[in-house]
């Protein structure tokens, strides 16, 4: 037995010596690493399969692709309709929908988690969607055509029909309630105004809200930003504004000596409301705009939701020519005014142009200050304002449009300073403020302005995605660390629609 063992060892040594003489060093290294290489290959293949599985995320319609700091969500089908809505649910979750056309049109609404890099089909809706919006924590409200039925669907895809049909509806900012002018689904065929509580599945009649059509729905019921109150007007009854508690009904009926009360505007915190007051002596001072009538007003009313009291700011020898714009700190307002004698010349003497001013008003002290020269041009029989205020941000930074400049330009100034910064950025779509910066999204790109009024370009859409870009819809995440871009191309382009999520530098 011992001799056989020695013979085996001797034979093995002999084979190794022969191999060492016939193989070069590289061959020996390959041979010695055979088993470890197979193990590494197995691990690579396993990782590759894992990545493929992660990219598919269990959905056959969309695949995920990573490239550098960007994540792309792309459709696997060629026949796809544009996205109807794109929004951030929170700083890490994006919601969007794709419409797939086959024998039966199907809308799938997806949630994508940037943290987990995972996509999930949340809602499956048959038929065309007119529009949909986030409601409460997990659900959505949607309508197939805007008028024949309103639906609520929660995260379990349980569909609840809110109305049989509707003239219009308005969802509260917190997504917990919806005002509907239509036929409730739980009774009869009579048109009602009602408030539906999504969390309680409860209808409350609200026929104190006027029964008007879709065109005038914006004055019938406007939610406060904090979702606690509603302001309502009635066409043909311009002497009254109703303040409505969303849970209790009418809180206060505002009537000031039967004067005309118009254009109620909530402060950003929802705690105050401005409205214009036109005294009887100016009842004929009306400018017809393309969409509404401007009742040139000599006073501004301010309603306090907490105290239920009204403060009135008298403009004295001046009249307003535009709606009120609130500051972000809810303590100041911006409004355009002109002298009463100028307005009279405009209305009676066939004047086509008058001078106006942009005024800055402190609502606590009632102190007023003229900050910009403006004017009104009536050449085309409707008012063209030279200066159109857009937003009064923190640090008294005013964003505005100037009709004397290119309409694709934006203008920024600081109250109490004469410097005005103008820059062509394209048609402005949206704007927001984060810390000391103002973010602006236009049809051409994304821009940022700092406290020193310097405007910097973050993304140029054509440079980023090519000249055949048809449209780019961009939304910034709530923490301002990421941006999602939905990129559409011309129908003749070889490029396909996609969503890109990238970090803001």
Query: What residue has token string 């002109």?
Result: 338
| 12-38 average pLDDT score | 39
Burial of 163 (0-12, 13-18, 19+ CB in 10 A): buried
Contact in structure between 146 and 130 (CB atoms under 8 Å): yes
Q: What is the pLDDT of residues 314-342, one digit of tens each?
A: 999 999 998 999 999 999 999 999 999 99
Distance CA(384)–CA(381), nearest Å, equals 9
What's the pLDDT tens digit per position in 28-49?
Answer: 343 334 333 444 444 444 444 4
Q: Report d(CA 342, CA 38) in Å as an integer.
A: 89
78-81, long-range: CB < 8 A, 24+ apart: 78/496, 80/497
Tell me the pairing of strands 249-254 and 260-266.
Answer: unpaired
Residue 197 has a pLDDT of 94
Q: Is the pLDDT of residue 5 over 90?
A: no
DSSP class of residue 148 equals S
pLDDT tens digits for range 71-114: 999 887 665 566 667 899 999 999 998 877 666 777 889 999 99
Scored b (16 or more CB within 10 A) or e, 285-323 reads bebeeeeeebbbbbbbbbbebeeeeeeebebeebbbbbb
Rounded to whole angstroms, the Cα distance separating 399 from 422 reads 10
14 CB-contact burial (10 Å; exposed 0-12 / middle 13-18 / buried 19+): exposed
Residue 20 sits at the vertex; the CA angle it makes with 16 and 26, to the nearest 5 degrees, is 120
Give the CA distances from residue 322 to residues 112, 300, 309, 375, 387, in Å, rounded to whole numbers and listed in that order. Answer: 42, 12, 24, 12, 10
pLDDT confidence band for 232 (50 / 70 / 90): very high
In 340-393, DSSP assigns E strands to 353-362, 368-377, 384-385, 387-392
End-to-end CA distance of the chain: 76
Lowest mean pLDDT among 149-163, 212-226, 408-422: 149-163
Beta pairing, strands 445-449 & 437-442: antiparallel
Neighbours of 281 (CB within 10 A): 10
State the residue for tokens 């939304």.
475
Partnered with residue 461 across adjacent β-strands are none
In DSSP terms, which residues pair with 244 in a beta bridge?
Answer: 230, 250
Q: What is the pLDDT of residues 406-434, one digit of tens each?
A: 989 999 999 988 789 999 999 999 999 99
DSSP 325: E
Per the document, the length of the chain is: 505
């Amino acid at each position: 037995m011992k001799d056989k063992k020695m013979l085996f060892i001797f034979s093995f040594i002999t084979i190794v010596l022969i191999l060492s003489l016939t193989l070069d060093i590289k061959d020996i290294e390959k041979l010695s690493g055979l088993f470890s290489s197979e193990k590494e290959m197995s691990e690579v293949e396993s990782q590759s399969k894992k990545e493929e599985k992660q990219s598919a995320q269990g959905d056959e319609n969309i695949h995920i692709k990573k490239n550098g700091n960007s994540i792309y969500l792309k459709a696997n089908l060629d026949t796809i309709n544009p996205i109807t809505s794109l929004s951030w649910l929170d700083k890490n979750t994006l919601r969007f929908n794709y419409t797939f056309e086959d024998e039966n049109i199907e809308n799938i609404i997806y949630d994508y988690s940037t943290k987990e890099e995972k996509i999930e089909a949340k809602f499956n809706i048959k038929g065309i969607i007119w529009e949909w919006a986030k409601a409460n924590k997990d659900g959505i409200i949607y309508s197939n055509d805007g008028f024949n039925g309103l639906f609520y669907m929660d995260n379990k895809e349980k569909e609840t029909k809110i109305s049989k049909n509707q003239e219009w509806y308005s969802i509260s900012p917190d997504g917990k309630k919806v005002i509907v002018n239509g036929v409730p689904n739980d009774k009869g065929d009579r048109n009602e105004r009602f408030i539906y509580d999504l969390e309680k599945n409860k209808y409350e009649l609200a026929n104190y809200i006027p029964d008007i059509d879709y065109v005038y729905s914006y004055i019938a019921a406007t939610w406060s930003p904090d979702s606690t109150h509603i302001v309502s007007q009635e066409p043909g009854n311009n002497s009254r504004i109703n303040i409505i508690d969303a849970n209790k009904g009418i809180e206060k009926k505002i009537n000031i000596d039967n004067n005309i009360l118009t254009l109620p505007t909530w402060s950003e915190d929802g705690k105050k409301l401005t409205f214009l007051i036109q005294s009887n002596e100016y009842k004929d001072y009306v400018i017809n705009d393309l969409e509404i009538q401007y009742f040139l007003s000599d006073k501004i009313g301010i309603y306090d939701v907490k105290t239920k009291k009204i403060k009135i700011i008298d403009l004295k020898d001046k009249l307003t020519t535009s709606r009120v714009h609130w500051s972000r700190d809810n303590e100041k307002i911006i409004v355009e005014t002109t002298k009463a004698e100028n307005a009279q010349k405009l209305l009676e003497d066939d004047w086509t142009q008058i001078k106006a001013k942009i005024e800055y008003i402190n609502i606590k002290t009632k102190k007023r200050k003229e900050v910009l020269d403006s004017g009104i041009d009536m050449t085309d029989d409707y008012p063209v304002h030279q200066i159109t205020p857009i937003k009064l941000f923190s640090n008294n930074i005013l964003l505005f449009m100037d009709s004397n400049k290119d309409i694709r330009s934006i203008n920024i100034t600081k109250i109490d300073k004469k410097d005005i910064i103008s820059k062509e950025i394209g048609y402005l779509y949206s704007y927001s403020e984060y810390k000391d910066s103002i973010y602006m999204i236009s049809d051409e790109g994304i821009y940022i302005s700092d406290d020193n009024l310097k405007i910097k370009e973050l993304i140029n859409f054509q440079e980023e995605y090519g000249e055949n870009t048809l449209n780019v819809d961009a939304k910034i995440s709530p923490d301002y660390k990421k941006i999602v871009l939905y990129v559409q191309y011309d129908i003749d382009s070889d490029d396909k629609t996609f969503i890109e999520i990238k970090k803001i530098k």
